[in-house]
Structure formats: structure tokens, C-alpha cells
Chain A
Amino acid sequence: MADTTAYYHAAYLVAGALYVLYAVSLVTRRRKVLARLAALDGADGR
């Protein structure tokens, strides 16, 4: 049986990184939108 351990580790790291990066991008985009909404609320005096 050939040693394929490095490929196995690489696949799990790459997939995990992709999922985590996407979740972080969702959170970051949402924070920006909420900050702009809060700024509009402030400008409207709400």
C-alpha cells in the first residue's frame, strides 16, 4: 500500500480552510452591512 498520508492531510486542510474562509467572509460582509445600517440610524437620529 503506497503512503498517501500527505495527500489525505492536504485535502482535509484545504477543505477545512475553504469552509472556514467562507464563514468568515459571510460574517465580515454582514458586519459591514450592519455598520452601515447603524450609521444611517445614527444620521436619522433613531
Chain B
Amino acid sequence: MTERLSIAGAPSATRAPIVDGWLAAAALAVAAAYVRIIWFTPPEATQGLAQKIYYLHLPAALNAYIAFAVVAVTSIVYLWLRDPRADRVAEASAEVGLLFTTVVLTTGPIWGKPIWGTWWTWDARLTLTLFLWFIYAGYLVLRGAIPEPEMRARYSAVLGILGALLIPFIHMSVYLFRTLHPMPIVLKPDRPSLPPEMLQTLLFSFAAFFLAYLALVRARYRLAVERALLAERESHSEGER
């Protein structure tokens, strides 16, 4: 049973170490990104050190986009094939995506206070990102409220797909609405408008946090596998009584 529920190509569920090589590598990569940002990247001329918040904020936002896109794709796969592995990947990616969105929603206001003079403003980019957070927080609450696995997977797949439809609106909101939020300086049709040193640090930071995304989703997937195993064992034990 353990082998059937384990991740293909990964150690079996109950024998895998608590902190594996992926999590250790991700922690090292994120630590290296912190060192590069803090000590080896020059501050911007007008914003001062607050500009460096950007190297946390943008990678977290991009990884949140990726995480929720993965939720949508694996939810479609689940509805199509009814494969519980797709549902577990969606659940894991939603939880990690919510973590990245929380980082976006906390580092953004900390940057906004000295630069805009306010912690928060109800403009389109910020408000839609807050809605995205609520949708995936609701997704996880929904999952916790439905004990029956097949029904839980089906209902949450629909919500996971609908929630991801917000992502293109969030990205395009700075073009569609009048907003205080800065325009994209990397993900735009022409070349990134950042000096090479800053662009390299940004790409390094994105790579480190993307590795963290993969490692955390992998660890969260393994937890989902072991929870399914536990639920099966407990129902089997109750059936025997």
C-alpha cells in the first residue's frame, strides 16, 4: 500500500526523511539569494534600500502565479482522468502558492509605506491580489470541510480552475486600470529596463525561490500521500472492530 501511494521515483512515504535534500538545497539557495541581495547588489539611487524589497516581492509574485497555474492545470487533469495524484499536486501547489501570495501582500505594503506614503491603497493590482489570496484560502478551507475524498477533489478542482482565471487580470491590471502600482520592468513586450547587476540578482532570486517552490510542493505532496495512507489505515482498523 505504501508503494502504491508513494510519489513515482521518490522514496516510499513512511521511509522518507523529514527534511530531504530538496528542502536543504532550497534553503541554501534562498540563503545565497539573501546574501547576494544584501551584500552584493547596489541600492537604487532614489528609493534607497527599500528598493531591494523588490528582489523578494517580484519572485514571490511570479512563483504565486506559477503555483496557481499548476493548481489549474492539475485540477483539469483531475477532472479529466480522476487521478488522485493530480488532486494532491493541486492541493500542495495551492498551499505553497498561498504562502507566496502572503509574502507578496506583506512585502508590498512595507515597500509602499516609505515610497507611496501609505501601507495600502485600493487600486486594481493590490485589490485583485488580495482577492486571489481569499480565493485560495477559501480553496484550502473547502478542502478541510469535505471529508469524502472524491467529492473534495471535484469541488476544489472547479474552484482551483476559476481562481487561476484572476492571474491574467492581475498581470494586466496595470495596463487596464489607473493604478499606483509600478508598471512591469521585466515581464513586458520589450527588454527588461533594469541595470544588468540588478537584473542578475533578480533572476538569481527568482531561481532560488522557484527551487523553494518545488521543494515545498514536493514535501507537501508527500504529506498528502501519508495522510491518505493514514486515512485508509484508520478506516481499515475501524472496519475490523
Of B19, B56, B60, B113, the contact of A12 (CB 8 Å cutoff):
B56
Per-position binary interface string of chain B over residues 220-237, scored 1 when its CB falls under 8 Å from any chain A CB and 0 otherwise: 101100110110011001
Are B99's CB and A19's CB within 8 A? yes
Are B103's CB and A19's CB within 8 A? yes
What is the size, in residues, of chain B's interface with A at 8 Å between Cβ atoms?
43
* In the bound complex, CA of A11 to CA of B237 (Å): 48
The answer to the question of B118 belonging to the interface, with a C-beta cut-off of 8 Å to chain A, is no
* In the bound complex, CA of A34 to CA of B52 (Å): 40
Contact A26:B216 (CB < 8 A) given known A4-B49, A8-B49, A11-B110: yes
Of A11, A29, A31, the contact of B107 (CB 8 Å cutoff):
A11
Of B56, B60, B106, B230, the contact of A36 (CB 8 Å cutoff):
B230
* In the bound complex, CA of A26 to CA of B222 (Å): 10
Are A34's CB and B114's CB within 8 A? no
**Closest A residue to B27 using CB positions:** A23
Are B50's CB and A4's CB within 8 A? yes
* In the bound complex, CA of A34 to CA of B30 (Å): 28
Q: Please, which residues of chain A bring their CB within 8 A of the CB of B45?
A: 1
Q: Please, which residues of chain A bring their CB within 8 A of the CB of B107?
A: 11, 14-15
Are A33's CB and B227's CB within 8 A? yes
The answer to the question of B10 belonging to the interface, with a C-beta cut-off of 8 Å to chain A, is no
* In the bound complex, CA of A14 to CA of B108 (Å): 11
Are A11's CB and B223's CB within 8 A? no
**SS class, residues of chain B in contact with chain A:** helix
Are B56's CB and A1's CB within 8 A? no
Q: Please, which residues of chain B bring their CB within 8 A of the CB of A33?
A: 223, 226-227, 230
**Closest A residue to B209 using CB positions:** A19
Shortest distance in angstroms between A41's beta carbon and chain B's nearest beta carbon?
9
Considering residues A3, A4, A18, which has the most beta carbons from chain B within 10 angstroms of its beta carbon? Answer: A4
Chain A residues in the interface with B (C-beta under 8 A)? 1-5, 7-8, 10-12, 14-16, 18-19, 22-23, 26-27, 29-31, 33-34, 36-37, 40, 43-44
Q: What would be 10 A-B contacts, judged by CB atoms less than 8 Å apart?
A: A4-B47, A11-B57, A12-B56, A15-B103, A18-B106, A22-B96, A29-B223, A30-B226, A34-B226, A37-B233
List 16 additional A-B contacts (Cβ < 8 Å) besides A19-B212, A30-B18.
A1-B45, A7-B111, A8-B53, A11-B56, A11-B110, A12-B38, A15-B56, A18-B99, A19-B103, A27-B19, A30-B219, A33-B227, A33-B230, A37-B226, A37-B229, A40-B230
Rank and list the top 6 A-B pairs by shortest CB-CB distance, nearest first.
A4-B50, A8-B49, A11-B53, A4-B48, A11-B110, A4-B114
